[in-house]
Chains A and B, each alone.
Chain A
Amino acid sequence: MLFTSTDFSALDLPEHLSQVRHEVREFLHEERRQGSFRVHLGHGEFDAEFSRKVGSRGWIGVTWPKKYGGREASYLERFVITEELLAAAAPISAHWIADRQTGPSFLRFGTEAQRQKYLPAIAKGECYFAIGMSEPNSGSDLASVRTRADKVSGGWKLSGQKVWSSWAHKAHAMFVLCRTSPLAENKHEGLSQLIVDLPSPGVTIRPINFLNNEHHFNEVFFDEAFVPDEMVLGEIGQGWRQVTSELALERSGPERYMNTLPLFFALIDRLKTSPDRMARVTVGTLLARFASVRVMSLAIASEFSRETSPNLATEAALVKDIGTHFEREVTEAVKMLLDVTPGVDADDELERLVGEATIFAPISTIRGGTTQILRGIVAKRLEGGV
């Protein structure tokens, strides 16, 4: 059964985290006052200067060992920091992937040299990563990737194509999931992860503009690009296990349900003047949905603070499914309750945010596992017995 041994009475955050929360909130308040960023939905903008400021405060890689630039703090502390950054729609795209995915992967599977090379720089907010997983013919069925690495003297020769690599054109390196032995009966075997510094010879990055003409996605081509042996992440042939190992944390974080929260805040502050019953009931309902998915997310972070790898993959899949749909419900509620015209360049901030939320809506239920894949994961667990 779901959340079998989870103790929901332990969710009251430890007192010292209020202090951390206040520091982050104060910092963001001051940054906004100085006009250092403008609210943008959907993980915010790529802003290296902002990421360096966040890093210098010790808010990147917070759970990592001190010797790699971390602070050995709990997942709950990371939860609090992330929550505040997202509530303010701060521009954290630059360091986001490195902080959430790359760092933990290095800690689990990386060599000492790899950790020394990348982790302190990531924690400072100076080193950014992209991800090379999806391919033109391989999205949800990730194990079907065809990008291939062949063994050569001293390393690997990488050939193939990746798509949807966010910010690859600005990142310092990327993880590439590729096939290092031919497709056999078990397609999960024979996959490996390589680290590719960017730019590199034989690697071409081309923009794929998003539907609003903005550039954050890329396609990345590898044409016999040489990757030295010391840039293999973990073990050759263990790529599948490695990429799926941290999914519970990746799928259950606040970023799965907070992308439109700044819009919800704007709605609340706009309605304040004339709330009728429909407005009150809608706001109350949305608030309850938000708070409930937050409890699930917090419960998972809290279990990770107690145990190294609790088996909460199913619960995490549910957080992402329910959370991403909540994000959309906020946007629809705004359109039902207010007479607004969504606009990307509207002077009115609320109208601009509705515009952004509308445009970004299709992505959240796709990236990191589509709704349908997530529900398949849950069903598979149920099939094996509740």
Chain B
Amino acid sequence: MSDSTLLQDAVSRVFLDFYRNDRLNKARQEGWCTELWKALEQTGMTLVSVPESLGGSGGSVVEAAEILRLSGKYCAAVPLAETALLAGWALAAQGIALPQGPLAFGIVQGRDQLRVDRNDGAWEISGYVDPVPYARHASAVVLVARIGAGSKVICAPASTYRVHPHANLAGEARDRIVFDEDALDDWRVSDAESSVTVEQALQRGALARAVQMSGALERILEMTTEYARHRAQFGRPIIKFQAVQQELARLAGEAAIAKASAMAAAASVQANDRAEMAVAFAKIRAGEAAQAGASIAHQLHGAIGVTDEYLLHHSTLRLWAWRSEYGSEAVWADKLGRHALDRGSAKLWAEITGSVRDPR
């Protein structure tokens, strides 16, 4: 058994304890699963990819992605991506040690309104950011904001903002946070290092959701296959019908391609090699797979799959939600298309095949 398989088994065991309808329904009511977070914290899994010197558990983005993939597979409503891959990444780049506890992460953009001013030797922060996943459960929220000519990284403790609770389709906390001229200590607002930008943050967020979607697709493939093997109609298991087989195979294809593109993107981010492109590929393709896959899974489950008592919807609701978080397929395809057309086919081909690399 390879190291990665051993890791996967160990991680899966933690998630599986909480992969039950009663617990998932409770998490949906509360916006997250406290007990699961505590169990994960004990294993150190919540801080993978953050350097040990800054309070993390070390490890690569690929290892973090492997954990995230399984968290997606088992519908884990916890801020894993937010704490390590996003907040942990931004703080580590600033040389700031990670605060204890679950962290939320927000990207200040679009309709958000945030003002950060110097006042009496301290920072004063006002405005709102939306969405900030898991803000209501976090010990602190980390924000990346374009302010003036540069970007800033803000680390605001939970005591400094009010939370307006909102949720995505699957009931995961996607809150709005509001600051009312709150004061922040000096170190909590810093000029962002060049590697920390709104674009980079979006890229990491998109990677996280692509990886989680690939996990959820793997799960709905398992569920749908099991179901088709045991559900008998017209005197035989429905998996014996070619019409069912053909759709099941399509679902398998969507799951496989989502996994391949998402894990390849994780490797690109880790290597800092054509990461923007690889993440765009993964977010677009995993999003398409989410749509096609969820639709097949429901169709093959028949009416059974749309009931609350059956587990399928916990996965499909997430697929539909994650598909539009950190940029839908259309958003990423627009960016990618613009890039491709700017480059022209010859340069684009050279770039895809690796004969032209990102400046490091």
Q: Contacts A285-B333, A291-B281, A382-B248 hold; do A280 and B257 have CB atoms under 8 A apart? A: no
Binding stretch for chain B, among A5-13, A163-171, A351-359: A5-13
Binding stretch for chain B, among A121-129, A176-184, A314-322: A314-322
- In the assembled complex, the Cα of A72 lies from the Cα of B156 at a distance in Å of 59
A177 to chain B, nearest CB (A): 25
Q: Determine the chain B residues whose CB is within 8 A of the CB of A5 once the complex forms.
A: 2, 4-5
Within 8 Å of chain B (Cβ to Cβ): is A247? no
- In the assembled complex, the Cα of A293 lies from the Cα of B253 at a distance in Å of 10
Within 8 Å of chain A (Cβ to Cβ): is B263? yes
Q: Contacts A272-B344, A279-B341, A299-B260 hold; do A378 and B281 have CB atoms under 8 A apart? A: no
- In the assembled complex, the Cα of A291 lies from the Cα of B345 at a distance in Å of 14
B285 touching A18, Cβ below 8 Å: no
Within 8 Å of chain A (Cβ to Cβ): is B190? no
B8 to chain A, nearest CB (A): 9
Q: Determine the chain B residues whose CB is within 8 A of the CB of A266 once the complex forms.
A: 345
Q: Contacts A5-B5, A279-B337 hold; do A292 and B344 have CB atoms under 8 A apart? A: no
- In the assembled complex, the Cα of A280 lies from the Cα of B280 at a distance in Å of 13
Q: Determine the chain B residues whose CB is within 8 A of the CB of A4 once the complex forms.
A: 5
B246 touching A284, Cβ below 8 Å: no
B261 touching A275, Cβ below 8 Å: no
B232 to chain A, nearest CB (A): 14
Q: Contacts A3-B256, A285-B284 hold; do A277 and B353 have CB atoms under 8 A apart? A: no
B256 touching A296, Cβ below 8 Å: yes
B341 touching A280, Cβ below 8 Å: yes
Q: How many residues of B contact A (CB 8 A)?
A: 62
B334 touching A284, Cβ below 8 Å: yes
Within 8 Å of chain B (Cβ to Cβ): is A73? no
How would you classify the secondary structure of chain B's contact residues: helix, strand, loop or mixed? helix
Query: CB within 8 Å of B: which of A273-332?
Result: 275, 277, 279-285, 287-289, 291-296, 299, 314-315, 318, 321-322
Within 8 Å of chain B (Cβ to Cβ): is A265? yes
Binding stretch for chain B, among A147-155, A339-347, A368-376: A368-376
Q: Contacts A375-B245, A383-B229 hold; do A13 and B354 have CB atoms under 8 A apart? A: yes
B330 touching A386, Cβ below 8 Å: no
Within 8 Å of chain A (Cβ to Cβ): is B187? no
- In the assembled complex, the Cα of A87 lies from the Cα of B353 at a distance in Å of 11
- In the assembled complex, the Cα of A34 lies from the Cα of B220 at a distance in Å of 54
A330 to chain B, nearest CB (A): 12
- 6 residue pairs of the A-B complex, CB under 8 angstroms, read A8-B267, A9-B264, A9-B266, A268-B348, A284-B340, A287-B281
